[in-house]
Amino acid sequence: MLILSSMLTNGIQAQTRLISGYVTAAEDGLPLNGVSVVVRGSLTGTITDDQGRFNFQAEATTDTLLFSLVGRQSKTVFLGGRSTITLTMTLGTTWLDEAVIIGYGSQTKRELTGAISTITAEQFKDVPLLSPDQALQGRAAGVFVTQNSGMPATSINVRIRGTNSLNASAEPLYIVDGMPINTGNYSGFFLGGQSLNALSDLNPEDISSIQVLKDAATSAIYGSRASNGVVLITTKRGKIGPTNIDFKAYEGLQNVSKLLDRLSGPEQEALVNEQRGAIGLSPRYPDPLSAPTTNWQQEVFRTAPIREYTLSTSGGNQQTQFMMSGTYFRQQGIVLGSDYQRGSVRLNLDHQFSQKLTFGTSLTLSRSLNNRINGDNSIIGVLSAALLLGSHIPVRNGDGSYALDPFSNVSNPVAEGTEITFNSRTSRIVGTTFAEYRFNPTFVWRTNVGVDNLILKEDVFYPTTTFNGARANGSGRSDYRQDLNWLLESTLTYSVALRQRHTLTVLVGAGLQESALEVLSAAATNFPGNSITRLTAGSVKTGASSDGSRWALTSFFSRLHYSFKEKVLVTATLRTDGSSRFGSDRRYGIFPVGSLGYVIVANNRYSNSVLNFLKVRTSYGLTGNANIGTLTNQTPALGLFGVGASYLQQTSLVPQQLANPDLSWEKTQELNFGVDMALLNSRLSLSANYFVRQTRDLLQQRQLPLTSGLLTITENIGALQNRGVELEVTSTNLQQSQWKWSTNFNISFIRNKITKLYGGTPFSAGSANWIQEGQPIGSFYGYQVERIFQTQAEIDALNQVNRSMNGSTAVYQSEATRPGDIKFKDLNGDGRITSADQTVIGSAQPSFYGGLTNNITYRGIDLSVFFQFTYGNKIYNITRSSGENMSGQNGQLTTVRDRWTSENPSTSMPRAVQGDPNNNRRTSDRFLEDGSFLRLKNLSIGYTLQSNLMKKARLRTLRIYITAQNLLAFTHYSGYDPEVNTQTDQSLVAGTDYLGVPQARTLLLGMHVGF
C-alpha cells in the first residue's frame, strides 16, 4: 500500500491554472460563505470565504465545477474556457443533489446505483432517543426495528431486509465515522431475556445522519460483514463560519399506557380452591372472601422521569473546524428499580494543514450507569413476579418483611425491584483519526486509525431480604469486561473527468482490525449484613475466573465508479476478507458486486414538466456474514476440550466442541432492481426497490443427536431467502411562504423463507417458535384447539374409538380429561393426540410494515406526526398463557371468570383444575394472537421564535416543543404492547411475549437555544 502510494507522488505533474469567482445568494444578493467548489469528478476544490470569494489551482483541463452548500440547490457550471465565475445560488436543495455517505466516500443520489436509506438528525430531533438504532425505527424502508422491551438500554433488534441468518447474528454492521464498532450484549448476567445494548453508549444527539446500506451494491465494500446490511453513522462536524453555541434540553415523564385486568384476592383464592376441588383436594383457603387484594401492577409501575441536556459548540475558519458537545441523559424505567444515566462528550476536529494535507479526528467518551432489574423471560423479574404472584398476597407481612406466597416460588416484586443491586457501568471511547493527502488533484490518499474501547463493570448484590440472598446470607458477583477493538485502514482514490462526458473514480484500500476481549469475574456469599455489598465483605468466595478471546480481520478492497454523461452509471466493488474465526483452509473470502444505473430522464431545467428525474438501476453481488461464536469463544472451527464443572474441588477437562475445519462465511447473493424518480417540480420523490436475497452456507449450531454427548456443532448448513419490495416516498405537499407541509412514507413487503435445513429436519426454538423448510423464521408450532369438551360422554366416545384403533388402555388425550378441558385437533387422524398433531400455527413475520411522517409548518409553529405500523404478524402470548392456566398459584387474568363450570358451559375458556392434567396450557393456537398495530409513535409541536424577535434577544435560534411518544396504539393484541419479544439475542426466537415490559408512553417538554 505504502509502496504504491509513494509511486504515485512522483507520478503525474499536471499543468494547472487559477480559477476564481464570487458566489451570492439569489434572494438578497449577499455573499455566500462556505460554499463548496469542487472540480467535478475529482476531490480538488475549495470553500468560499466570508466575502463569497474563492480561488484555487485546478488542472488546466478542468471544465466543470460543482457548487454546493447546505440549504441551497447545488449547481454545475461549465467553464468553457472561463477562469472567473460569478454565480447566484437559490434556496433549497433538490433531493437529487443531497450527498449520500457510502462506504469510504460519498455520492449524490443522482449517481447512486444501490439501495440506501438516509435518516437525518432533523427527522429525530424532537424524539427522546437513548441509542442511535432507535432512530431507524419506522423511518427507512426495508429496515424492521423492534424495541423488545420498555426497559432502558436493553437491546433492540434491527433487521435490514429480513432476518438473514439463523444462528449467526442478524444485526447489521454499525460504522461510526469510519470505525466499525462493538455492538451487542457484553453483559455477563442473565437478567431475563433482555440484554444490554452496546450501541447505547453512543449519544444520538451527536449524530448528523444515518445511512442504511441495504443492497449488495452499497454494502459489499464491507465484504464479510455486510450481508445483514450496514449502518453508517456520521457525527456532526464543525463548519467554516461564526462559532455557534447551542443548548438543548428536554424533560419528560413516562408511564405505562395499559394495565392488564387481574382477579382480585378473593377471586384468586376461590379459584385455587376450585382448582383443588377438581382433583378431590380440600380447599386451600377456608375463607376466600376475607382475602386482601394487592394491585401488583400498580406496585411496580410508576411514572418515571426522562431528561437530557446537551451543550454544544461548533464553528471554524478556513484551516480548522471543530464541534464539541457534552450531553447528560437520564431515563428511569417505568418499572420499579430501573434507572439509566449516561454522560458523554465529543470532540470532532478537522484541520487543513496545507492544500495537500488534511487531518482530523472524531472522538467520543461516554460513561453510563445502568441500575438494572430482572426482566422478562424469568419468573423472578420485577414485572414478571408482579404478573405471576396472586393478588391475594400483600406487599408486606405484618412484621414488615416482604410477603411471599407459601405455595409458590415467585419472589416478591417490590423486593425484586428495590432490594437487589444490579449495576452496570460502561466506559466507552470511540475515536477515529484520519490524515488525507492529495498528491495531486486526482490522487488522494487517506489513512484512518480507529479505536473502540468498551469497558463494562457489573456488580450484583442480593441482600438477605431477597429470595436469592436469604439462603446464602447475601450473595454478590462482580464482572469486568473490556473489549479493545482497533482498526487501521488506508485508501487511495483516483478521480478523473474526461471531456465532460466520462467520470471515473477508483478506490483501492486495505485494512486490519483486531478485537481483544478480557473477562474477569468473582463471586462471594455470606456477607456481614447488607450494608457492605462489595465482594471483599463476603466470607465465602464462591468464584473467581478470568477468560479472554481475540478475533482479527484483514481486508483488501476496491471500487470502481464510472459515469458517462451522468446518464450511464457503473459501479463495481470487490473486497477480500480474511477472518480468524474460520477453519485454516477457509479463512479468505472474496465478495464482488456489480451495479448499473441508467438515468432516463434528468430535466431539472424544465421544471414545469411532470417527470423531472427517472433512474433505473440494478445490482447483483455477494456479501458475507462472519458473526458467530460467543464473546469468549471466537474459535468455533476448532475441536476443543474445555474447563468443566469442578468435582472434589478439582478442575475438570471435558469435551467442549467438535472440530470443523471447513467452517466458513455465510454467503448472501443479492439481486436488486430499483427506480428513483422525481415528479412535479421535484416535489414528489420516490424510490422503490425489489430485491431477492439468497443466503446459503448458514452458520448454524446444528443440533447433534444428544446421544453424541454434545449438543451442537457449528457448520455451514442450510439456506434461506428474503425477497421483498420497499418503497420510500417524500412529498412536499405545500410550499408557501407561511404554510409548509411535507410527508415521508415508507412501506416494505418482505417475505422470509427457510429453503434448506440440515437433513430437512425442523427444530424448535424458544417457547413456541419453529424452524422448518418452506416456512419463515419466527413460525410458531403447536396444537390446534378444536373446542371444549362439554360432556363426559364425548370424551368416553373418543377414548372408545382410540382403544379400538390403538389398543386396550389408550385414551384420546389424557386419562384425566374431563368436561371443561380442551379438545385438541387430531390432525393426523390416528384417533389420539400425540406430538404428531402439532403444526405450524402462524408466524411472527409481518406481511408489511412501515412508517408515515407528516411535517407541517405555519410561520414559527411546526408539527410533526409520526406513525409506525406493522401488519399480519402473530404473537405467542405466554403472559396470557400463565394468566389463564387456572392450575396453580399464578395470579390470573379476569378473562378466567368465564371459565367452564357445569353451571357455565363456556365454549372458550376451559375449566380450572390443579396441575392441568389435560395440559390445556400446551403450546397451541389458544395463545396465539394478532400482533398487527398502528402506533402514533411520535407527535411533536414546536414553536420557533421569529427572526426579528431573535435579533432583539441576540439569539441565533430559539425553539420550544412538546413531544408525545407512544401516545396511541391501535391493536387487537391483548397484552401490554404488541412490540415485544422475549429473547433478543436469538434470531430464531421471535414474537414471543413472556412477561415483557411494555414501552413507556412519554410526554416531554423541550427547548433549543442557539447563540
Partner 1 sequence: MVLSVLIEACATFLDKKPESSVPSEEAITNLTGARASIIGAYANLASGYSISFTIFPDLLADNLAHNGSITDLDQFKSHNILSNNGYVSSLWQSLYQGINRVNYILEKVPLLSDPAFTDQKRIIAEAKFIRALLYFHLIRYWGDVPLIKAPTKTAENLLVSRTPKEQVYTLVQTDLREATPDLPEAAIGRATQSAAQALSARVALELQDYAAVAALSEAILQRRQFSLVSDYRMLFDTKNTIESIFELQYYPTSANGLAFWFFPTALGGRNEVGPRGAGSTLESAYEPGDRRKIASISPGNLILDGKTIPAGTGIKYSRISSQDDNVQVIRYAEVMLIRAEALAQIGNQTESLELLNQIRQRAGLGALPIRDKKELLMAIEQEKRVELAMEGYRWFDLIRTGRAQDVLKITDSKKLVLPIPQQEILINPNLVQNEGY
> Segment contacting partner 1 (CB under 8 A): 140-148, 317-325, 642-650, 850-858?
642-650
CB 527 within 8 A of CB 465: no
528 binds partner 1 (CB under 8 A): no
CB of 274 to partner 1, least distance (A): 15
Query: Can you state the percent helix, strand and coil of the chain, rounding each to 5?
Result: 15, 50, 40
574 binds partner 1 (CB under 8 A): no
Nearer of residues 96 and 913 to partner 1, judged by Cβ: 913
The span from the CA of 805 to the CA of 795, in Å, is 15
CB of 914 to partner 1, least distance (A): 7
Other beta carbons less than 10 A from residue 949's beta carbon: 11
Nearer of residues 320 and 814 to partner 1, judged by Cβ: 814
Q: How far is CA 850 from CA 113, 144, 745, in A?
A: 23, 8, 8
CB of 897 to partner 1, least distance (A): 22
CB of 191 to partner 1, least distance (A): 18
707 binds partner 1 (CB under 8 A): yes
551 binds partner 1 (CB under 8 A): yes
Nearer of residues 37 and 385 to partner 1, judged by Cβ: 385
The span from the CA of 656 to the CA of 644, in Å, is 9
CB of 648 to partner 1, least distance (A): 5
Q: Which listed residue (77, 435, 658, 725) binds partner 1 by CB under 8 A? A: 658
583 binds partner 1 (CB under 8 A): no
102 binds partner 1 (CB under 8 A): no
407 binds partner 1 (CB under 8 A): yes
Nearer of residues 552 and 679 to partner 1, judged by Cβ: 552
The span from the CA of 531 to the CA of 588, in Å, is 55
CB of 358 to partner 1, least distance (A): 27
How would DSSP label each residue in 275-310? HHHHTTPPPS-S-GGG-----HHHHHB--EEEEEEE
CB of 592 to partner 1, least distance (A): 20
The span from the CA of 798 to the CA of 233, in Å, is 63
CB of 488 to partner 1, least distance (A): 11
703 binds partner 1 (CB under 8 A): yes
Q: Count residues contacting partner 1 (CB under 8 A)?
A: 102
The span from the CA of 542 to the CA of 789, in Å, is 53
482 binds partner 1 (CB under 8 A): no
Nearer of residues 172 and 891 to partner 1, judged by Cβ: 891
CB of 9 to partner 1, least distance (A): 18
Other beta carbons less than 10 A from residue 174's beta carbon: 21
746 binds partner 1 (CB under 8 A): no
899 binds partner 1 (CB under 8 A): no
Nearer of residues 206 and 416 to partner 1, judged by Cβ: 416
319 binds partner 1 (CB under 8 A): no
The span from the CA of 65 to the CA of 952, in Å, is 40
384 binds partner 1 (CB under 8 A): no
283 binds partner 1 (CB under 8 A): no
Nearer of residues 15 and 649 to partner 1, judged by Cβ: 649
Binding mask 56-95 for partner 1 (x = CB under 8 A): ----------------------------------------
The span from the CA of 965 to the CA of 967, in Å, is 5
Query: Which grid coordinates are listed for 209?
Result: 445522519
Binding mask 796-825 for partner 1 (x = CB under 8 A): -------------xxx--xxx---------
The span from the CA of 935 to the CA of 866, in Å, is 9
CB of 767 to partner 1, least distance (A): 11
Closest residue by Cα to residue 944 from 1000, 1004, 861 = 861
Q: Which listed residue (587, 740, 753, 825) binds partner 1 by CB under 8 A? A: 587
> Segment contacting partner 1 (CB under 8 A): 91-99, 171-179, 345-353, 915-923?
915-923
CB of 567 to partner 1, least distance (A): 38
Sequence-ordered alpha helix ranges (H) in 832-983: 878-883, 947-953
The span from the CA of 763 to the CA of 769, in Å, is 9
Burial class of residue 484 in the structure, from the number of CB atoms within 10 Å of its CB (0-12 exposed, 13-18 middle, 19+ buried): middle
410 binds partner 1 (CB under 8 A): yes
Burial class of residue 542 in the structure, from the number of CB atoms within 10 Å of its CB (0-12 exposed, 13-18 middle, 19+ buried): middle
The span from the CA of 84 to the CA of 1007, in Å, is 45
Q: Which listed residue (12, 289, 357, 540) binds partner 1 by CB under 8 A? A: 540
Nearer of residues 278 and 980 to partner 1, judged by Cβ: 278
Q: Between residue 114 and residue 173, which ones bind partner 1 under the rule CB under 8 A?
A: none
Chain-centroid distance of CA 914 in Å reads 42
Residue 149 has, within 13 A of its CA and on its CB side, a CA count of: 33
> Segment contacting partner 1 (CB under 8 A): 112-120, 430-438, 732-740, 888-896?
888-896
Closest residue by Cα to residue 162 from 725, 770, 841 = 725
The span from the CA of 667 to the CA of 665, in Å, is 6
Pairing label, strands 16-25, 84-89: parallel
190 binds partner 1 (CB under 8 A): no
CB of 647 to partner 1, least distance (A): 4
Nearer of residues 354 and 649 to partner 1, judged by Cβ: 649
> Segment contacting partner 1 (CB under 8 A): 313-321, 469-477, 478-486, 972-980?
469-477
Chain-centroid distance of CA 159 in Å reads 7
Q: Between residue 989 and residue 1008, which ones bind partner 1 under the rule CB under 8 A?
A: none
279 binds partner 1 (CB under 8 A): yes
The span from the CA of 577 to the CA of 591, in Å, is 8
Q: Which listed residue (633, 743, 755, 986) binds partner 1 by CB under 8 A? A: 633
CB of 440 to partner 1, least distance (A): 24
Q: Between residue 857 and residue 886, which ones bind partner 1 under the rule CB under 8 A?
A: 885
CB of 891 to partner 1, least distance (A): 12
The span from the CA of 830 to the CA of 834, in Å, is 9
Give me the residue label for grid cell 411562504.
Answer: 737
> Segment contacting partner 1 (CB under 8 A): 250-258, 287-295, 638-646, 847-855?
638-646
Residues 6+ apart with CB under 8 A from 368: 153, 200, 201, 340, 341, 342, 343, 424, 425, 426, 428
498 binds partner 1 (CB under 8 A): no
398 binds partner 1 (CB under 8 A): no
The span from the CA of 473 to the CA of 466, in Å, is 10
Q: Which listed residue (473, 733, 742, 944) binds partner 1 by CB under 8 A? A: 473
> Segment contacting partner 1 (CB under 8 A): 165-173, 348-356, 674-682, 754-762?
754-762
282 binds partner 1 (CB under 8 A): no
554 binds partner 1 (CB under 8 A): yes
Residues 6+ apart with CB under 8 A from 651: 643
Give me the residue label for grid cell 407512544.
Answer: 966
CB of 798 to partner 1, least distance (A): 15
Q: Which listed residue (206, 350, 697, 916) binds partner 1 by CB under 8 A? A: 916
Residues 6+ apart with CB under 8 A from 158: 133, 136, 143, 144, 145, 171, 172, 231
Closest residue by Cα to residue 150 from 983, 937, 1000 = 1000
CB of 572 to partner 1, least distance (A): 22
